[in-house]
Amino acid sequence: MPIPLSQHAHFTQALKPWYTRVRPWKFFLIVVALIWFMVAQSEVINMPEFTHNAAQIWQEQVRPQKKKTEKPKPKPKKTVITPQYAEAVDKAQNYADSMHLSEEALRDELTVKDSHYSQDIAQYAIERIHADYPENALFQARGLEDQGVKDPAMLMKRLTSAEFKFTPADCEYALRNLFPDDIVNSVLSREH
């Protein structure tokens, strides 16, 4: 007995709307091809130039070309760390915390005959400690005030002297914490 025409596979597909018979990706591909064709036919975009630029961008981003060989930079010379370096760091931190020294005074303290460290080791130690030199200047300025030095100009002179060796910026911080701004500004203007 033959199959009725209404049950035949091709006949049932013909009854469905066309957009359900076409796979979505095929439909999308056809639409993109039509848009591409329409853009190519219009003179809005210069297609040869557009495709050349697109290919160039693709090569730059997806396939980066090898860069010119650059000479490798020489590696910085590493300092060989000996126990003496670690000892110097500990001593420097102790001096900075207990004696409230400036950076230069700390360097001098590390290189005197008692400590016997070289300039390189002292510099290494100074670079690795946690010292707040402006706070150290403030501490020393308060000590000088307790000894009777009340004049801000004299404090500035003493803190920057060979005895303490604080920088002018550290001294300014100390003075601004001890005196009003107008007095500090007048002292600083006289110093410059």
Please say if the pLDDT value at position 63 is more than 90: no
Give the residue-averaged pLDDT of 147-176: 91
Q: Which pLDDT value is given to residue 146?
A: 92
Same domain, 39 and 90: no
Is position 59 within any domain? Answer: no
Which CATH number characterizes residue 146's domain? Answer: 1.10.10
Same domain, 103 and 157: no
What is the rounded average pLDDT for all residues in the chain?
80
Considering the chain, what percentage of its residues have pLDDT values greater than 70?
69
- Under the banding of pLDDT at 50, 70 and 90, the label for residue 1 is low
Please say if the pLDDT value at position 5 is more than 70: no
Is position 42 within any domain? Answer: yes
For the chain, how many structural domains are there in total?
3
Which is more confident, 61 or 166? 166
Q: Which pLDDT value is given to residue 28?
A: 83
Is position 65 within any domain? Answer: no
Is position 35 within any domain? Answer: yes
Same domain, 147 and 126: no
Q: Which pLDDT value is given to residue 187?
A: 84
Same domain, 175 and 141: yes
Q: Which pLDDT value is given to residue 184?
A: 87
Same domain, 126 and 140: no
Give the residue-averaged pLDDT of 61-74: 62
Assess contact for 121 and 84: CB atoms under 8 A: yes
Is position 21 within any domain? Answer: yes
Q: Which pLDDT value is given to residue 64?
A: 57
CB neighbour list of residue 136: distance below 8 Å, 6 or more residues apart? 96, 100, 101, 102, 166, 170
Is position 60 within any domain? Answer: no
Q: Which two tokens stand for residue 100?
A: 């409230």
End residue of a domain, out of 110, 131, 152: 131
Same domain, 112 and 163: no
Is position 87 within any domain? Answer: yes
Give the residue-averaged pLDDT of 93-107: 91
Give the residue-averaged pLDDT of 149-175: 91
**Which residue range(s) make up the domain with 46?**
5-51
Q: What span, in angstroms and rounded, lies between the C-alpha atoms of 100 and 142? A: 12
Is position 159 within any domain? Answer: yes
Ranges 34-43, 53-62, 105-114: which has the least confidence: 53-62
Query: What type of residue is 125?
Result: A
Give the residue-averaged pLDDT of 76-84: 73
Determine if residue 102 is left, alpha or beta; phi over 0 gives left, psi from -120 to 50 gives alpha, anything else beta: beta
Number of neighbours of residue 23 by Cβ within 10 angstroms: 9
Give the residue-averaged pLDDT of 39-63: 67
Same domain, 139 and 190: yes
Which CATH number characterizes residue 105's domain? Answer: 1.10.10.10
